[in-house]
Amino acid sequence: MKTREIVGELPEGALAWQREGPWTAGRLAQGRSLAEVLADPSRAAEWAESAPPFARDTLALIVKRFGPAPFPEEKLATEGGRPPFGWTGAELRLAVQLLRRDGIVFAMDRPWGDRLLLVPSDMCAAWRRLLLPLRARPLPEEAWMDGCDAAAAPLSHELIAAWSAIRRTGLPLTAKGAPRKQDAAKLASAMRLAPEDIPPLAMPPAWEALPASAVLALRLGSALGMLKRRGRAISAEPNEAAKAWLALPASEAELRLLEQAAHCLLSAAAPESGAWLAAESLRDLAPMRWYSAAEIAKALPTKEAAGAAEAWVRFLRAAGWMETGSGAEGAALRWIIEPNPERLWVSADGYDRYELMPDLEAIVPPEVPPGARWELELLARRLSEDVVAVYRLDADACRRAFAGGTSLEQARFALERGSGAPLPGAVDIALRDWFHAAPAHSAGQSAPLTEAAAQLSGAPQQEAHAKQPEAGDDERHNERYDGRHMESQDDPHSEAPADDIFGCAEAAERTGAPEQARAWDARPPMLSRKLYPGAEGVPPGWLRQPAAYHASTRKEIIERAIGWRSGLRLCKDGAWMDFAPERVVPAERGGWRVWGRPFVREAGSGKPVLAENPIALEAAEIGQIMISLPDSEFGVDCRPIT
């Protein structure tokens, strides 16, 4: 779930304390909404810089182990108890409270009592980039030449074509609410994306037998707002969000599509699979540089992610976003789009326009926004799709567009805007011929196409009559593709949730909980000693500084620390150590001993982490001792230096 969706569902009580949090109050005062503030990636960097290390590491652990999937809190405790995590359970619990306070982690209670935590999917990606960057070195450019796989055109091009086909004919649904098998098969057969290249999709049962590529096209269309359900059919009617996507520069539109595809395909994957982490981590790689696949596997944060990367790369390659090859350095891969929003750079050098040629062909460079392709699909026939797409203006297509209500002026306007130049004479003449030749009585009467054609135009119908664009109107030629002009006024139903075409099952699947059962935790985070039951009752000295105690008191201190899952600072044989106690057991010769893990310096980073193997400390070996309890109230980081 994205931040905006969560904020939209939060109870008023939760919203109240969220608004007053130290990371939100100031920003809200600048006039931004809570959702905007919480979903702002620049806030992430700032937070990470000043957050207590135990909170930062806890967030990294959450992102690494669960990604954006909801997870039970106790599972986090289990993960945190494993090396090489560097903090105790007490610190981890406090970290969760801090993360909730700061609007990074959200909690929901399920009816049967357990509690789930989650990081919103949009911000989870930002946290991953910040806290778990993939460090890999590209291969030298000259090292790579042979054995490269062909790159397909980016997925957006294929989807635009698929959605355009739906725009022309609609897609009827069966009584069970799924497309007919033959229609889905037809949709899939026109796509290059093979079902075996697509990770498993979670689907309502009626959809399960359909080709995965068709389902993905529909699901992405739905998620982006390009498709909607109208009674017993799916139609292509871009809503406001889709119009915004259509108007994006091509590179940004492709990136958004990648994100949406990852969301659709990976939200269903079990967090343990590492699929989300692999997909996100790969986005750190620089585009157009070859990387050794083996090196990438080593550099991924978990071995599960390394295992999952192969399948995701297969999908990326099929989607035309990545190339793979094999050469002297072994298997290698490279991005051919910019996968990282932070590096995204959009030029304004004019290549975002297509070239209309006098032989009636449109040469469409990769930088052309999807909206222009969407328009061309209505007026022209696609001849080829490679680095550039080639469309040919076509009498049949134009007549069809006209039958659907598109006027000659609208068509001319769209083509002049898309190409950024006056129409070549031959094109202008051809359009006039084709639009004039269309039977006049058919204008606007073809029910299935009327809405579709209205989507085409740069100029809405009324506007076309009011102000006829003229050749040489530079202002018009320089106008970018703009969602404002793209569609006719949406009807009130167009803003229905994108998931409409699938029903509610998808939404439930995405959050891991049935929608009606989702209850966000409105209780404010607990950031005081109350987080540790009985803390007020223990002698303050136990928490303040190490001291020598009687063996029975030492045992009591240790048992209290175990209860709180906190750490101990103690002196053994004259040396100080930090120790996470796990259990106290009787010793063979009477007395007791405590099992636990000492904190050790991690090789490389030098950070204190729990040791791999537990050790036992005899009661007599323990000298001065104190409980290391994190104390967020004072901003004190209690992690001692061993």
Residues near another protein (CB under 8 A) = 145-151, 153-154, 250-251, 254, 287-288, 323, 325, 335-338, 347, 349, 351, 355, 357-361, 363, 365-367, 384, 386-388, 395, 402, 407-409, 412, 424-426, 428-433, 435-438, 440, 443, 465
Closer CB to another protein, residue 441 or residue 484?
A: 441
Site of tokens 């620089």:
286
* Shortest Å, Cβ 572 to another protein: 57
Report the nearest approach of another protein to the CB of residue 165 (Å).
Answer: 22
How many Å apart are CA 116 and CA 73, to the nearest integer?
6
Minimum CB–partner distance for residue 390 and another protein (Å)? 9
In angstroms, what CA-CA distances link 560 with 183, 268, 553, 570, 592?
65, 40, 10, 15, 15
How near is the Cβ of 124 to another protein at its closest, in Å? 26
Nearer to another protein, 142 or 573 (CB): 142
Name the residue nearer to another protein (CB basis): 275 or 332. 332
Q: In angstroms, what is the minimal distance from the CB of 413 to another protein?
A: 11
Q: Is 305 helix (H, G, I), strand (E, B) or coil?
A: helix
The answer to whether 611 and 599 are in contact (CB under 8 A) is: yes
**Which of 408/627 has CB closer to another protein?**
408
Q: Between residues 367 and 582, which has the closer beta carbon with respect to another protein?
A: 367
The type of residue at 562 is I
Identify which of residues 312 and 335 has a Cβ nearer to another protein in the complex.
Answer: 335
- Answer whether 171's CB lies under 8 Å from 183's CB: yes
Nearest to 487 by CA among 368, 399, 405: 405
Contact 172, 230 (CB under 8 A): no
| CB-nearer residue toward another protein: 386 or 491 | 386
Shorter beta-carbon distance to another protein: residue 264 or 336: 336
Task: Closer to another protein by CB, 178 or 250: give it.
Answer: 250
Rg (CA), the chain: 30
Distance of CA 608 to the CA centre of its chain: 32
Contact by Cβ (8 Å): 619, 588: no
Closest approach of Cβ 443 to another protein, in Å? 6
> DSSP letters along 562-629, please?
HHHT-EEEEEETTEEEEEEEEEEEE-TTSSEEEEEEEEEEPTTT--EEE-SS-EEEEGGGEEEEEEE-
Q: Which residues contact 406 (CB under 8 A, 6 or more apart)?
A: 378, 379, 453, 454, 456, 457
Closest CB 347 distance from another protein, rounded Å: 8
CB of 425 to another protein, least distance (A): 7
Given a contact cutoff of 8 angstroms between Cβ atoms, the answer to whether 291 and 297 are in contact is no
Q: Report in angstroms the alpha-carbon separations of 338 from 257, 295, 390.
A: 12, 20, 23
Q: Which is nearer to another protein, 316 or 360 (CB)?
A: 360
- Omega cis (within 30) before 84: yes
| Strand-pair category, 322-327 with 355-356 | unpaired
Shortest Å distance, C-beta 336 to another protein: 6
* Rounded least distance, CB 412 to another protein, Å: 7
